[in-house]
Amino acid sequence: MKTAALVFGAAALAAGTSFGALRAVSHDQWGGKPDSWQMKRHAEKMSVVTNGGAKVVFIGDSITNGWEQKGRGPAQLKKYFSEGDWKMLNLGTSADRTEHVLWRLDNGELDGYEAKCVLLMIGTNNSGHFKNFSDEPPSDTILGIREILKKIRAKQPKAKVVLTAIFPRGASENDQFRLRNDVVNRAIRKFCDGKTVFWCDFSDRFLDANGDTQWIMKDRLHPGPQGYEIWYEEVKPYIEYALSDGKLPCPQNRFSKVKTAAEKAEEHLPVTMHPDTHSGKALTGRGAWWFNRLLQKRSQIVASKGEIDVVFIGDSITHNWESKGKAQLAELAKTYSILDIGYGGDRTQHVIWRCQNGELDGYKAKCVMLMIGTNNAYPRNDPKDVVKGIRRILDVIAEKQPQAKTLLLPIFVRGEGPGNVQRKANEEVNAAIKSFANGEKVIWVDFNAKYLDKNGDTKQIMPDRVHPNAAGYKIWTNAVLPYFRDICGK
């Protein structure tokens, strides 16, 4: 009865621009009101587009719109961006979120002309317009910005893109909306290769000694004239480079010199506890599939309307329920609604990030099944640090899904025999994390012995000595099914 939930994400990805019900990547015409002031602004900007567009294009929300607004940046606009190749096309619209920008870009605002430099800063309204974290977790805003970057690249393939960090907001580093934007900024900077897409974060110039922004943003959100002066100074090298057609030296990505609250908190923690997304070419390369899967899973969560029985959390071994274990998964899905958030290659730090920033939000699960850590294995990390990472994941599960019971699985045995170094490291982790299970909220479920032959080898069940085959997922199913029945009541 629940099989459709398992394939929803893939269907959403195949559906072009619809992306299921995930707000941040939808294409929203401001609620479908053609007579809105936003539509009038869109028409105004389209008149510039049809008359040749511009070499320099700024895209964003009210902060970008502010280049034209009294008391903000019009003096700087006239001084720096009003003549020749530097004449700005300002595609900033107040109150816009990522979904509104996507609609505008899909409806002509980047069509029919050749820009040299496109500057994007968007996202503060995705977090700031929704009080409840679960209404717009950072993962969704990140996915929305990623879609915009892909759209810019498709519409303006020759342009250099400057992705500007969302400006700091609020009175302190612990402002709830600033914290959300910090998470977004830390992820989206990975979309920048420093060649065609540049990262520009000058948050440090907006903060006083106490981390407050009010000296330059009266409402702690929108800069005054001095803020636009700083903005110009910081993006100037990128625009000059773009307008020179690469004749000038390539500028480097710009990073804030001030650490965020999260970065400060992580300074003395092992890497296994640093919440993180995957690196790599996050728009086109290996990192792209990771964000594609994040989009798929967040879309499934939104479409579920909160009805998810069991959540699988892990790495490629869990991910492979959708391949090697698909027959068993399909059988389970006849009774239980299942969310498989296993990601190939993930380590504890990636799972922490996903659990904190969207994949445990928007529903109430009955049962969570966790198995993670083999990708952290020695010599990459000290087993004691892997234990700390797993402990943190359990804490986040308890925070986000307090009503759920968690099945804690030991890391599966790996390697050809008991003497394998990585197997020994995992066994050390397993011996420690077993104590995290109290038999009530966290239940220890160990069936590793069933994967071993008489010589202690796993090859019959795990041909590569890491990942189970179909028979391995049948063993797994038989081991956990009694717990699913008991916890879910069906």
Could you tell me which of 330, 281, 283, 340 has the C-alpha nearest to residue 309?
A: 340
Name every residue whose Cβ is closer than 8 Å to that of residue 66 and which is 6 or more positions away in sequence: 72, 73, 92, 222, 223, 228
Instruction: Supply the mean pLDDT for the chain.
Output: 93
d(CA 201, CA 196): 16
What does DSSP assign to residue 272?
A: G
Asked if 386 and 433 touch (Cβ cutoff 8 Å), the reply is no
pLDDT of 282 over the 90 cut: no
Q: Tell me how many degrees the CA angle 394-397-402 measures, rounded to the nearest 5.
A: 120
Cβ distance 276 to 350 under 8 Å?
yes
**What value does the mean pLDDT take over residues 330-358?**
98
Question: Mind listing the pLDDT tens digit for each residue in 468-488?
Answer: 999 999 999 999 999 999 999
Q: Is the pLDDT of residue 13 over 90?
A: no
* Cα-based distances in Å from 306 to 200, 302, 359, 412: 38, 7, 12, 31
Q: Look at residue 432 and tell me whether its pLDDT is greater than 60.
A: yes
Question: pLDDT of 228-241, one tens digit each?
Answer: 999 999 999 999 99
In this predicted model, what pLDDT tens digit does every residue of 116-133 receive, in sequence order?
A: 999 999 999 998 888 789
Single-letter residue type at 370? L
Ranges of beta strands (E only) in 171-228 are 197-200
Cis peptide before 379 (omega within 30 of 0): yes
Categorize the per-residue pLDDT at 12 as very low, low, confident or very high, splitting at 50, 70 and 90.
Answer: very low
* Distance, CA of 118 to CA of 54 (rounded, Å): 10
Q: Supply the pLDDT for residue 236.
A: 98
Question: What DSSP line would sit under 28-50, residue for residue?
Answer: --GGG-TTSHHHHHHHHHHHHHH
Report the alpha-carbon angle 466-472-473, nearest 5.
110
Average pLDDT of the residues in 246-251? 97
Name the amino acid, one letter, at 57: V
- 215 forms beta bridges with none
Supply the pLDDT for residue 280.
67
Write out the CATH class of domain 286-488. alpha beta
Concatenating the DSSP letter of every residue in 359-374 gives TT-SS--SEEEEE--G
Q: What is the pLDDT of residue 1?
A: 31
For the segment 168-182, what is each residue's pLDDT rounded down to a tens digit? Answer: 999 999 999 999 999
Phi, psi angle pair for 390, to nearest 5°: -65, -40
Percentages helix, strand, coil for the chain (3-state, rounded to 5) are 50, 10, 45
Q: Nearest-CA neighbor of 369 among 353, 387, 351?
A: 351
pLDDT of 85 reads 98
pLDDT score of 279? 76
Which tokens is 164 given?
């500007």
Positions of CATH 3.40.50.1110 in the chain:
33-265, 286-488
Residue-wise over 370-394: b if at least 16 C-beta within 10 A, else e? bbbbbbbbbeebbbebbbbbbbbbb
pLDDT at 128: 84
What is the identity of the amino acid at 280? Answer: G
Mean pLDDT of 323-351: 98
What pLDDT does 14 receive? 32
Topology classification of domain 33-265: Rossmann fold (3.40.50)
pLDDT of residue 5: 36
Instruction: Name residues whose C-beta falls within 8 Å of residue 461's C-beta, 6 or more positions apart in sequence.
Output: 451, 468, 469, 471, 472, 475
Cβ atoms 1, 73 nearer than 8 A: no
Q: pLDDT tens for residues 18-43?
A: 445 799 999 999 988 888 999 999 99
Retrieve residue 238's tokens: 């990128």
pLDDT at 17: 37
Please choose, from the candidates 452, 225, 467, 210, the residue with its C-alpha nearest in 3D space to the C-alpha of residue 322: 467
CB 382 within 8 A of CB 306: no
User: Looking at residue 278, what is its pLDDT?
Assistant: 85
What digits encode the pLDDT tens for the residues 135-148? Answer: 899 999 999 999 99
